[in-house]
Amino acid sequence: MLIKTETTLALRCLDCGRSTLETVSRFGLSRGKSKEVLCSCGRLLLVIGSRRGLARAGRSTKNRKSYWLEINCVICEANHLYHLTPGELWTRSVVNLSCLETGLELGCIGPYEQVRACLQTREQALGVLVEEMGGPSYFRDAEIMLATLTHVHTLAEEGSLSCSCGKSRIELEIFPDRIELHCRHCLRMCILPAEGKQDLAQLEACESIELTGQVFNEKKRKAYRRKHDNHRY
């Protein structure tokens, strides 16, 4: 029987928003050792370690090794502690890690290729959307637009995209130089520029987006767009 000796963890950074893949060895966690996983920006993402005799689910695990993960949660910003059995950590399938407060997904653990595929799924879906809009040439800067869409999607998943009217029926429209968010309930609109790095940096500094501006009916929207486009060109 083959014993799995490595697993890969994927987590998003609270500071810069990047996703990090880190492969951990079974032997690197032997004899009570622990390992810190850092983002490329220097932020501590998690600490992982092992111990024996940890109580789990009301039963003794004396003389059996178990593992713990302490994660800096990107969603609620608290530190979460997870206890995992060897079977859960050295799994041959993907195990999702969720925020203990909200239940929203934080990251995952599993074989490298499977974990990598999970991260790529979202990026591929957004890439298909860019192609459907006419390809990269349709946008002022396709990479900035893709990063902007990714951040908005992340905020929506975290429940951090809302309207001041209290409803969450928000639709998104994509233009070459911007994204428009519309509340389907009260018709408020929010404009997110997506032309350059400065636009992206300002957006990524936002931990949430709330539509609080003027109410735009369809006539006002068309008038705004004509004025905007005439000004741009």
Q: Looking at the predicted structure, is the pLDDT value of residue 58 above 60?
A: no
Q: Which of 206, 209, 222, 150 is nearest to 183 (CA)?
A: 209
pLDDT-based confidence at residue 47 (cuts at 50, 70, 90): very high
CA distance 117 to 8: 12
User: What's the pLDDT score for residue 185?
Assistant: 82
Q: What is the pLDDT of residue 155?
A: 86
Please indicate, yes or no, if residue 123 is contained in any of the structural domains. no
Q: Are 84 and 66 in contact (CB under 8 A)?
A: yes
Please tell me whether residues 99 and 28 are part of one structural domain: yes
pLDDT at 82: 92
| Residue where a domain stops, chosen among 74, 92, 118 | 118
Q: Would you say residue 180 has pLDDT above 80?
A: yes
Non-local CB neighbours of 110 within 8 Å, separated by 6+ positions? 7, 8, 91, 92, 93, 94, 95
pLDDT exceeds 90 at position 137: no
Please check whether residue 23 lies inside any domain of the structure. Answer: yes
Average pLDDT (39-60) is 71
**pLDDT given for residue 230 in this prediction:** 55
Same domain, 93 and 145: no
**What's the whole-number mean pLDDT along residues 71-87?**
84
At residue 13, the pLDDT reads: 74
* 107-116, 161-170, 178-187, 211-220: the lowest-pLDDT one: 211-220
Check residue 194 and give its pLDDT: 92
Domain count, the chain: 2
**Helices 142-157, 197-204: inter-axial angle, 10-degree rounding:** 10
Pick from 105, 70, 71, 64: nearest CA to 85: 64
221 is a domain residue: yes
Tens of pLDDT, residue by residue over 63-77, are: 467 899 999 886 677
Q: Name the pLDDT band for 153 (thresholds 50, 70, 90).
A: confident
- Check residues 123 and 24 and name the one with the higher pLDDT: 24
85 & 108 share domain: yes
For residues 182 and 222, membership in a common domain is answered with yes
Confidence of residue 81 (pLDDT cuts 50, 70, 90): very high
Q: How many CA atoms lie within 13 A of 224 on its CB side?
A: 12
Q: How far, in Å, are 135, 145, 146, 174 from residue 132 at the CA level?
A: 7, 14, 13, 11
Whether 128 maps to a domain, the answer reads no
In a domain, 124, yes or no: no
Same-domain check for residues 89 and 156: no
* 93 and 146 belong to one structural domain: no
Q: Residue 127 falls within a domain, yes or no?
A: no
pLDDT of 56 higher than 80:
no
Contact at 8 Å (CB) between 118 and 124?
A: no
Full domain range(s) for residue 52: 6-118
Residues 47 and 114 in one domain: yes
User: pTM here?
Assistant: 0.50
Q: According to DSSP H, which parts of the chain are helical? A: 86-89, 112-132, 142-157, 197-204, 218-232
